[in-house]
Structure 1
Amino acid sequence: MIFRSRRQRNESADTATLNGERDEQPDVDPEDGQQLVDHDQVADESTGPESPEAPAGQADQVASVDPTGAAEAIDPIDLADLDNQEWRDLGPYDIAEVDAEALEEPDAEQPRIDLGSMVLAASDGMELRLQVDENSQQIVSAMMIRDDSALEVGAFAAPRSGGLWAEIRDELIESAESAGGSANLVPGPFGVELRRLLPVRTPDGQEGYQPSRMWVAEGPRWMLRGIIYGQAALEDGLETPVAEILESFRQIVVRRGDEAMAPGDLLPLSLPENMSQGEPVEEQGEPVDESADPQTQSGEEQ
């Protein structure tokens, strides 16, 4: 497992959003040639029709198709029925549902990465990237990368009554469409899955659409979001490589804490204790605009 962290040079980056999008796209690591994916901040969606750039080498991940009309190709689904079902029998889990002491014990077969509000399970061949705000030194996202697929995860505070995912889906769809892309709601492994095609531009000037899949699991006063990129985002079912991504998402343990937080607030992340303070940090070359898509909040404290 390769452990990396990246600093984010942006004064507003300490305010994470549920539906905000950074303007990074999958890139190729020059060291090993693997496709790597950074945070799903594909575009500053408030800037209008101009598309963000996508790095070279992504012809197989950027679709040169017009997304208009994609919604008609999806059969209607009963959103309320999917929302009312329980989808966490196999995880992800709340900290109260597992043996918390066992999580702290070293496990050679299943190493754990404790980020504070989330505990991730490492696997062979997985790379973890953390996005760190340069000013606040706070981690704003965690990305698990395996082969040519990636899963970006974040946990958010949610109302006691649940239902935050149902509240914000329409905003995500509107945001995608206003950026010139498309979004559809389909049945997924956690109820309602959001699939998006967002416009990107490759370094050689070609324009296309970047696919992603979004899974959301709701637990006691928290909501866990997972965004899938790369080859796994191009697949329709749950077979490999989606199966490995799904297993990583299911094994996450969320540690909500007791502090009062507004719905939609990002649960704080922290560096693992066993991470060397002297480990080199990769910096982004350009600032990231997080002013688009304000954080969804209902004003209710937890």
Structure 2
Amino acid sequence: MDAAAAGDGDEPRAAKSPRAEGPYDVTEAPAGIAQLDLGALKVPAVDGVEVRVQADNDGKIQQIVLVFEESALQLGVFAAPRSEGIWDEVRGEIRKQLFNDGVAAEEVEGDYGAELRARVRTPDGLTDIRFVGVDGPRWLVRAVFQGPAAADPSVAPPLLECLRNLVVERGHEAMPVREPLPLNLPKEVTEAGAQQQDGEDEAGEASANGADAARRKPSPRPRRT
């Protein structure tokens, strides 16, 4: 499906009546929830939950994982059409991919409708996974529970709280259906990282220059990677 099929060039549809629980669209989210702003996703701050992100040097996030005790919740958010949700189609593709990998997935009804549950082999042994999809206005949140919470959601209430208070800011840009929405580290985090790296570069340069002075040879400045 191409970008034109998304209908993203139109004005976003009006906000629906407030949801009983999230993930929320930014137009319908309740006020007063402490959040970590990661761009298209606003992740609630919940006691006991560690937020782990993988990001490139420009602060663009490739992966978000929330961890509570032995359970984890991986989050992704994608562009979707105005007219219909895409979770049914995406869920079918995930199930087919799991089957191709030799993993049998079971479709069950959960708090958000149809989910997929499976057991996969990892370097640490077998682990349960559970795929949850939530269709919103022009977006899809895909949540993947791993570990004990995948088999029994009640064992990790803080992860459920994170999902139920998650906020999506889709924006008005035209995007192809299923394109990941932009996720970025907060500006203060990237600036702090840059300052720390600069300090390490300067310390490395000073150390190298001190050694070079003794040897009477110049030293190149270390490059950031």
Query: Does TM-score exceed 0.5, indicating one fold?
Result: yes
Partner of 1:98: 29
Which secondary structure state, in structure 2, belongs to the residue aligned with residue 89 of structure 1? coil
| Contact 2:105–2:118 under 8 Å retained in 1 | yes
- Match for residue 142 of structure 1 among 55, 60, 64: 64
Asked whether 1:170 is paired with 2:85, we answer: no
Q: Flag the 1:87–1:179 CA change in 2: closer, same or farther, 3 A.
A: farther
User: Partner amino acid for 1:167?
Assistant: E
- Alignment match, 1:182: 104
Q: How does 1:201-212 map to 2 (within 5 A)?
A: 201-202=123-124, 208-212=125-129
The 8 Å contact of residues 95 and 253 in structure 1, kept in 2 or not, is answered as yes
Query: Which deviations, in whole Å up to 9, do the C-alpha atoms of 1:212-254 show, x marking residues without a partner?
Result: 111111110000111111221232xx4232x322111010110
Matched-pair identity in %: 37
Aligned pair count reads 179
In the superposition, the TM-score normalised over structure 1's length comes to 0.54
Match of 2:214 in 1: none
Report the AA paired with residue 49 of structure 2: M
Structure 1 position 87, deviation (Å): 11
For residues 111-167 of structure 1, the C-alpha deviation after alignment (integer angstroms, 9 at most, x for no partner) is 310011011111122211111145x65211211111111111111000112231111
Aligned to 1:245, what secondary structure does the other structure show?
helix
Higher-helix-fraction structure:
2
For 2:155 and 2:127, locate their aligned partners in 1 and report how far apart those are by CA, in whole Å: 20
Identify if the C-alpha distance between structure 1 residues 87 and 231 changes in structure 2 by more than 3 Å, giving closer, same or farther.
Answer: farther
Letter matched to residue 117 of structure 2? R
Corresponding residue of 2:41: 118
TM superposition shift of 1:274: 3.4
- Which of 108, 116, 136 is equivalent to 1:219? 136
Which of 274, 278, 290 is the matching residue for 2:188? 274
Instruction: Give the whole-Å Cα distance in 2 for the aligned partners of 1:201 and 1:141.
Output: 20
Q: Residues 28-70 of structure 1: CA distance to partner in whole angstroms, max 9, x if unpaired? A: xxxxxxxxxxxxxxxxxxxxxxxxxxxxxxxxxxxxxxxxxxx
**SS of aligned partner of 1:274:** helix
The aligned amino acid for 1:94 is D
Corresponding letter in the other structure for 2:116: L
8 Å CA contact retained: 1:142, 1:154:
yes
Runs of at least 5 residues in structure 2 that lack an aligned partner in the other structure:
1-16, 198-225
Query: Unpaired runs of 5+ in structure 1?
Result: 1-85, 104-109, 203-207, 282-302
Structure 2-normalised TM-score? Answer: 0.72
Output the CA distance in 1 between the equivalents of 2:104 and 2:56: 30
Q: C-alpha offsets along residues 153-183 of structure 1, whole Å, 9 cap, x if unaligned?
A: 1110001122311112221111111112111
